[in-house]
Amino acid sequence: MSQPERLQHFFKSVGWHVNNVGLYEQAFTHSSYAHEREQGSGHNERLEFLGDAVLELIISAYLYHHYPQLSEGKLTRMRADLVCEASLAQLANTMDLGCYLRLGKGEAVGGGGGRPSLLADVVEALFGALFLDLGLEQCRVYVLELYRPVLRDLQEGVLRQDYKTLLQEFAQDRYGVTPDYRIVRESGPDHGKIFVSEVLLSAQPAGRGEGRSKKEAEQAAAKEAWKNLT
């Protein structure tokens, strides 16, 4: 099967409708393959450079719009996790990109097609090809579709995160301080006490909350403070 035929199989498997197949052939071409050709041929390093920037923009915009409550520091860490080599290599394996790679003989014999760094580079090159071929908006649609399972898991993790952790990360990123909690009131019988907790930032009250345990009251206080501050 020729490379163009293999790529048509790839496009069908991921649901992409493309125009310039040559860009994607280049995206799948490692420099070792290009250097072995007598007259040389295009390889994916420049597309990788472009795709890296495109991916960062798409993921940054997604996080910015979907998590307005999170600080710049938290968003930066989330983006880093989503675009790191390990995440991109996992994405490549999900799409079986190794089957479509064009490698030089030495690279192929050495198992280069399975190296995480090489697979991550191919993903970025593909995103660069998508951007040049279809424009930013359609590229964004295809990229986020590929990322959908990861982004769903990310959202569920954020929603499960406790407010004390959210407040602490926000306070440290924004103000460089750690929240302090104190119980300001207890009421009710021993078997049914109600606790009121207050959280302070730089010794200044930031929120109050109550609960049937000290931990629950602290969570409620952190929630109020976090919502007030963000």
52 labelled catalytic: yes
Q: How far apart are CA 71 and CA 230, in angstroms?
A: 8
Residue with tokens 């295009």: 42
User: Looking at 122, 145, 160, which one is the last position of a domain?
Assistant: 160
At residue 46, the pLDDT reads 95
Between the alpha carbon of residue 62 and those of residues 24, 68, 86, 213, the distances in Å are: 25, 10, 20, 37
Provide the residue-wise pLDDT of the chain in tens; the chain has 230 residues.
Answer: 677 788 898 999 999 999 999 999 999 998 877 766 655 568 899 999 999 999 999 999 999 999 887 888 889 988 998 999 989 999 999 999 988 888 776 555 555 556 788 999 999 999 999 999 999 999 999 999 999 988 988 876 665 567 888 888 888 888 999 999 999 999 988 888 899 999 999 999 999 999 999 988 998 999 899 888 87
Number of domains comprising the chain: 2
At residue 174, the pLDDT reads 86
5 labelled catalytic: no
Give yes or no: residues 21 and 88 share one domain: yes
At residue 102, the pLDDT reads 86
Q: What pTM does this model have?
A: 0.68
Give yes or no: residues 192 and 148 share one domain: no
Task: Identify the CATH number of the domain in which residue 203 sits.
Answer: 3.30.160.20
Say what the alpha-carbon torsion angle 88, 92, 93, 94 is, to the nearest 10 degrees.
100
Burial label, 163 (beta-carbon count in 10 A; 0-12, 13-18, 19+): buried
Give φ, ψ of 83 to 5 degrees: -110, 10
Dihedral angle sign, alpha carbons of residues 179, 182, 187, 188:
positive
Give yes or no: residues 120 and 177 share one domain: no
Task: Identify the CATH number of the domain in which residue 56 sits.
Answer: 1.10.1520.10
Pair 207, 214: CB distance under 8 Å: no
SS3 of the chain: the string is CCHHHHHHHHHHHHCCCCCCHHHHHHHCECHHHHHHCCCCCCCCHHHHHHHHHHHHHHHHHHHHHHCCCCCHHHHHHHHHHHHCHHHHHHHHHHCCHHHCCECCHHHHHCCHHHCHHHHHHHHHHHHHHHHHHHCHHHHHHHHHHHHHHHHHHHHHHHHHCCHHHHHHHHHHHHCCCCCEEEEEEEECCHHHCEEEEEEEECCEEEEEEEECCHHHHHHHHHHHHHHHHC
Which residue in the list 52, 121, 133, 198 is annotated as catalytic? 52
Give yes or no: residues 19 and 120 share one domain: yes
Give yes or no: residues 21 and 135 share one domain: yes
The Cα angle at residue 143 between residues 137 and 144, in degrees rounded to 5: 90
Which residue in the list 48, 107, 124, 224 is annotated as catalytic? 124
The domain of 121 spans 3-160
At residue 31, the pLDDT reads 82
At residue 38, the pLDDT reads 55
Burial label, 143 (beta-carbon count in 10 A; 0-12, 13-18, 19+): buried
